[in-house]
Structure 1
């Protein structure tokens, strides 16, 4: 079983803080705002708060002139998108406007267009040279009619450089059982959910009123992807999968409580068209370093069977930590080791008992030539604000969205309180 150590610092100490980490340089809390953010960052980095009390702030998009947009999962004052501008360039975003009467998660900027998603549609807004929305009340409807059920309903998006938009359509299920999350219920085989969910669909970014028939099921076998990004080094889509739950609770005869807490891994995939990552039939075991057959389909925790041909992750993370954003850093502000590497926002676990709940941080994976080149490490910690999270309700902040600012700063959203953090580096 993979062993790891958390050393968590909240207020005044300097510490070394890594999980499965390669870089063990000293980390310390730095107060980037007058009250202090409480974040633990590598030496030389500072953090401040640029927005607060937004509510359920999900993903974030930044413009070349410093403007940024935040998508909300629940409406605030009747609006689902907020635009922030620092007109006098003093570091404070004093100009704030809201628009969009729908909630959701996905948001992105590409070629003077702002793209945003609800839980079943994707819209786009024309932007002027100041990145102001020209007609906020009348967006273009790009995609409609996507599966929208309560479980895994968010539609995260990413765009490539060839005019395509990629949309996650999460599976409204844990493991495609006949009766979801029910002990003794078998898995459906084949899983009918995969026809319209449980994968990534590709559409044209500039075409209106598209639905499933106009799109392409680009990758399948993905239970739920909230974080995805296009890697410009190798022109490929990378995604972060939320792994399945409740192996021990539903199959106690095959898994101990400890195994249920540690399995399966959260996975990062590089996906090409036609990729099959295995859900619901298979999951990735980071101890055995292989895909194994799920117990709903006759698996015993070791058997590979049909899973031997499924796509493997490029890197794996501990279970149940909920990776909610992925960002490839292309800026020049941070030290060179961060260039082209991946930042991941982990929303935090709710089901790692009897072990401690974990996550609630931003991790970093170094990359070289479009592939991971080292182990992952914690980059920014302390969001939860407590030494031990018993449940997600205990966490003061839960990282959800990531964006790179025009100056190279890293923006992190939190959907517990609606805070937007900005992380800078000082040479």
Structure 2
């Protein structure tokens, strides 16, 4: 039998919360867990990890868990894509400090993706609105029935409608407004339909909007279109080293299906790249007019705009800082600032690849967490697979075959890494044995 390594986790306050019969968060008693030993799962929760890392399932069957956040006391907040039992934000508490959630409560009867903690508030988003909840002395949300409304009236036309969020250090919140289109055709996803010029979608979507994090009841007109030409961004985070926004773009679909004379099925399965961009105010990433071809390492004119798979374009569009194979669906981005993991991981980027549908008839890819090393706020090496095995099978033919699909990432107060799964609602926790640093 494989020996289980016990991992000493640094001391911090765990919070035990009691819920009144009304369902509101009513009162909390602090329980100190000093040097509590956490046992990883015997099979590392089914994951394959680098040497020295272990994993456990912190919670299971939570719902379609999208993004997540962890407070200073180790309580996990999970945003569900659709509310479950009238709760769209879950509060998961490990009261005895063994690493496993033993109390699950929640609030907020709305679905969505975005969630985050900043300056004493918990923020959570539906597909049209960003809400804010003040945190009490135990770092738990208050006003759960009547939250502050930070931004309302955000565009939701069903396609690419998740409102992922992140924050800078100057009081701003950044919101993804995904394009309600594949490639801005006159008739979306119709073979031979030309692209619109200029693309009207970009007026209200296909970019990142900046709003004030502390101003109530903002609408589109109160925000700034911080960056444009981004088809859909689900994973985004603020890089603390160079004080800059980074995003992960989902590339366009159906190159072969819409243009079979220009692209083979194999090319369509691999292209275009899923891309990481370092964003400055006013940047344009080029969608829908161009896409990035990671094989040619060039910006290529989209076929809807006269491209043939080789013609270059996008002279004014920014280049990605990292390019990945196509159709893996990067849904989570996190810059690691903790101290648990070895030094090489400090300030590097973890990315959760959810897995897509547009690689058929080729083998599906994704269903993993990868790592990109960074130095001085810039990528400093090739990307590498960090955690795999979420799918539970060796060959995924259809996305529905995968048992688990990574979506969100969060860092715990001890430096452990949390990963959400929006298929079965599993919450993973990945740790490192300090003795092997």
TM-score, normalised relative to structure 2: 0.89
Note the C-alpha offset of 1:355: 2.1
Note the C-alpha offset of 1:424: 0.4
Are 2:263 and 1:252 aligned?
no
Task: Name 2:86's counterpart in structure 1.
Answer: 78
Are 2:119 and 1:99 aligned?
no
Task: Name 1:50's counterpart in structure 2.
Answer: 58
Question: Which has the higher mean CA deviation after the structures are superposed, 209-218 or 83-92?
Answer: 83-92
Are 2:420 and 1:384 aligned?
no
Note the C-alpha offset of 1:91: 2.3
Q: Which runs of 5+ in 1 are unaligned?
A: 1-11, 13-30
Q: Distance in 1 between matches of 2:278 and 2:141?
A: 33
Task: Name 2:67's counterpart in structure 1.
Answer: 59
Task: Name 2:330's counterpart in structure 1.
Answer: 323
Q: Distance in 1 between matches of 2:44 and 2:177?
A: 38
- The root-mean-square deviation of aligned C-alpha atoms, in Å, is 1.2
Are 2:147 and 1:139 aligned?
yes
Are 2:271 and 1:228 aligned?
no
381 and 35 in structure 1: CA distance in 2 versus 1, 3 angstrom threshold = closer
Secondary structure of the structure 2 residue equivalent to 1:37? helix
Task: Name 1:112's counterpart in structure 2.
Answer: 120
Q: What per-residue deviation string (whole Å, max 9, x for no partner) do you get for residues 340-389 of structure 1?
A: 00000000121212321100000000000000000000000000001111
Q: Distance in 2 between matches of 1:195 and 1:140?
A: 27
Task: Name 1:18's counterpart in structure 2.
Answer: none
Q: Distance in 2 between matches of 1:232 and 1:207?
A: 23
| Contact 2:335-2:347 within 8 A present in 1 as well | yes
Q: Distance in 2 between matches of 1:156 and 1:43?
A: 32
Q: Distance in 1 between matches of 2:428 and 2:266?
A: 34
| Contact 2:44-2:54 within 8 A present in 1 as well | no
Task: Name 1:407's counterpart in structure 2.
Answer: 414
Q: What per-residue deviation string (whole Å, max 9, x for no partner) do you get for residues 311-341 of structure 1?
A: 0000100000000000000011001110000
Are 2:39 and 1:38 aligned?
no
Task: Name 2:366's counterpart in structure 1.
Answer: 359
Q: Which runs of 5+ in 2 are unaligned?
A: 3-38
Task: Name 2:30's counterpart in structure 1.
Answer: none
Note the C-alpha offset of 1:134: 1.6
Are 2:262 and 1:217 aligned?
no
266 and 380 in structure 1: CA distance in 2 versus 1, 3 angstrom threshold = same
Are 2:279 and 1:278 aligned?
no
Secondary structure of the structure 2 residue equivalent to 1:40? coil
Secondary structure of the structure 2 residue equivalent to 1:308? coil
Task: Name 2:181's counterpart in structure 1.
Answer: 173
36 and 367 in structure 1: CA distance in 2 versus 1, 3 angstrom threshold = closer
Q: Distance in 1 between matches of 2:213 and 2:142?
A: 18
Task: Name 1:187's counterpart in structure 2.
Answer: 195
Task: Name 2:130's counterpart in structure 1.
Answer: 122
